[in-house]
Amino acid sequence: GGCCDLQSRMVSGSFTFFGIILLCTCSASPPNFVLIFADDLGFGDLGCYGHPSSRTPNLDRLAAEGLRFTDFYSTCPVCSPSRASLLTGRYQTRSGIYPGVFYPGSIGGLPLNETTIAEVLKSLGYATAIIGKWHLGVGHNGMFLPTKQGFDHFLGIPYSHDMVSVFPVCAT
């Protein structure tokens, strides 16, 4: 049915998730997993995907003991649209997250009517968390933050590592 197709599309299009980490736990037999998405990381940049000189022993071990995706393609070379695509399993243009990224002055975000992988996993009994950079909008009173998009917990930053001018408390 439609739900299974959506779940299949969303799960099949998921691996490289570093700046954001999605931790999922469940109470019964479904497996726990971590989804890693990294900005500016190419498919062949890790040892587990054949890079001759990259030393990524921890990621290599995770790949050897787990599942590696070999047919996931980024739909956009820019952060916000590619994150939206990964989390929804849809082309980013369908959710309006195109062509650029969200900034502190942006008023939009990932539309709340988009179904995220976190929402699908929660319906299957998983607990979900996202750690790292969200970069899919904040909105008025945080209406577009991950905890409004199916994630139980969010530990991270809403935009990027360059937020010192917005949050001067972080300045060194």
Active site residues: 79, 135
CA-wise closest residue to 39 among 91, 88, 78: 78
Run of H or E residues at 122 = helix 117-123
Q: Distance between CA 102 and CA 80 in Å, rounded?
A: 7
CA distances from 57 to 14, 60, 63, 164 (A): 21, 5, 10, 32
